[in-house]
Amino acid sequence: MASKTTLEKAKEWAQNSYFSPESRAEISALIEANNQKEIDERFYKDLEFGTGGMRSIRGQGINRINIYTIRKATQALCLEVLAQKSANPSICISYDSRIWSFELAKVAAEVMAGNGVKAYIYKHLNPVALLSFAVRSHKSMAGVMVTASHNPPEYNGYKVFWSDGAQVTPPNDQNIINNYYGITDFTTIKTMGFDEAVKAGMISWIDDSVEESYYKAILSKSINPQICKDNGGKLKVIYTPIHGAGLVPCSRALADLGFTNVHVVPEQAKPDGNFPTVKSPNPENPSALKMAVDLMEKLGGDIVMGSDPDTDRLGVAIKVDGKIHYLTGNQIGILKLHYMLSEMKQKGNLDGENYVVKSVVTTPLLDTIAKKFGVEIYNTLTGFKWICGKMNELEKTAPQKRFVFATEESFGYLCHNFARDKDGVSSVSQMAEVALFYKLKGMNLLDALDKIYEEFGFSREDLLSLDYFGIEGQEKISRIMTNFRNFSDNTILGHKLVQIKDYSKGIEGLPKSNVLGFFFENGNQVYLRPSGTEPKIKFYIMIQEREGTLSNKKINAEIKATQFLDYFKAASERA
Which pLDDT score is estimated for 532? 73
- Active-site annotation holder among 149, 426, 513, 572: 149
CA–CA distances in Å: residue 551 to residues 262, 450, 460, 525: 34, 10, 13, 21
73 pLDDT band, cuts 50/70/90, is very high
Concatenated DSSP letters for 560-571? HHHHHHHHHHHH
Which pLDDT score is estimated for 547? 87
CATH 3.30.310.50 placement within the chain: 458-574
Q: In what order do the strands lie in the sheet with 118-121?
A: 53-57, 155-162, 142-146, 90-95, 118-121, 203-205
Residue pLDDT, tens place only, 357-416: 999 999 999 999 999 999 999 999 999 999 999 999 999 999 999 999 999 999 999 999
Residue pLDDT, tens place only, 283-309: 999 999 999 999 999 999 999 999 999
In sequence order, what E strands does 265-360 have?
Answer: 303-307, 314-320, 323-326, 354-359
Q: Residue 162 belongs to what H/E stretch?
A: strand 155-162
User: What is the pTM assigned to this prediction?
Assistant: 0.94
Quick one: DSSP state of residue 405? Answer: E
Residue 533 has pLDDT above 80, yes or no: no
- From the list 73, 90, 180, the residue with the least C-alpha distance to 142 is 90
Residue 1 has pLDDT above 70, yes or no: no
Q: Return the exposure string of 298-308: e unless at least 16 CB atoms fall within 10 Å of the residue's CB, then b.
A: eeebbbbbbbb
Residue 481 has pLDDT above 60, yes or no: yes
Q: Count Cβ atoms below 10 Å from residue 73 Cβ, excluding itself.
A: 28
Which pLDDT score is estimated for 96? 98
Quick one: DSSP state of residue 370? Answer: H
Residue 220 has pLDDT above 60, yes or no: yes
In the predicted model, what is the mean pLDDT of the chain? 96
Contact 219, 256 (CB under 8 A): yes
Residue pLDDT, tens place only, 132-174: 999 999 999 999 999 999 889 999 999 999 999 999 998 999 9
In CATH terms, 211-456 corresponds, of 1.10.10.10, 3.40.120.10, 3.40.50.2000, 3.40.50.12140, to: 3.40.120.10
Q: d(Cα 249, Cα 561) in Å, to the nearest integer?
A: 38
Q: d(Cα 424, Cα 411) in Å, to the nearest integer?
A: 9
Which pLDDT score is estimated for 91? 98
CA triple 429-434-436, angle to 5 deg: 95
Residue 51 has pLDDT above 80, yes or no: no
- From the list 565, 563, 545, 566, the residue with the least C-alpha distance to 554 is 545
- From the list 155, 123, 144, the residue with the least C-alpha distance to 274 is 155
Residue pLDDT, tens place only, 315-333: 999 999 999 999 999 999 9
Residue 2 has pLDDT above 80, yes or no: no
Bridge partner list, 536: 467
506 pLDDT band, cuts 50/70/90, is very high
Residue 7 has pLDDT above 90, yes or no: yes
Q: d(Cα 318, Cα 175) in Å, to the nearest integer?
A: 46
CA–CA distances in Å: residue 265 to residues 99, 326, 361, 374: 21, 17, 32, 41
Give Cβ neighbours of residue 402 (< 8 Å, ≥ 6 apart): 353, 354, 355
Residues of the chain with pLDDT > 90, as a percent, come to 95
Q: State the angle between helix axes of 424-439 and 128-138 in degrees (0 to 180), rounded to the nearest 10.
A: 120
Which pLDDT score is estimated for 267? 98
Residue pLDDT, tens place only, 23-43: 999 999 999 999 999 999 999
Which pLDDT score is estimated for 418? 98
CATH 3.40.120.10 placement within the chain: 45-206, 211-456
Q: What is the mean pLDDT of residues 474-503?
A: 96
556 pLDDT band, cuts 50/70/90, is very high
Q: d(Cα 219, Cα 258) in Å, to the nearest integer?
A: 10
Concerning whether 101 is annotated as a catalytic residue, the answer is: no
Residues of the chain with pLDDT > 70, as a percent, come to 99
45-206 in CATH: which number?
Answer: 3.40.120.10
Q: Report the sign of the C-alpha dihedral through residues 541, 545, 550, 551, in that order.
A: negative
Check whether domain 458-574 has CATH 3.30.310.50, yes or no? yes
Q: d(Cα 448, Cα 445) in Å, to the nearest integer?
A: 5
Q: Count Cβ atoms below 10 Å from residue 85 Cβ, excluding itself.
A: 7
Residue 102 has pLDDT above 80, yes or no: yes
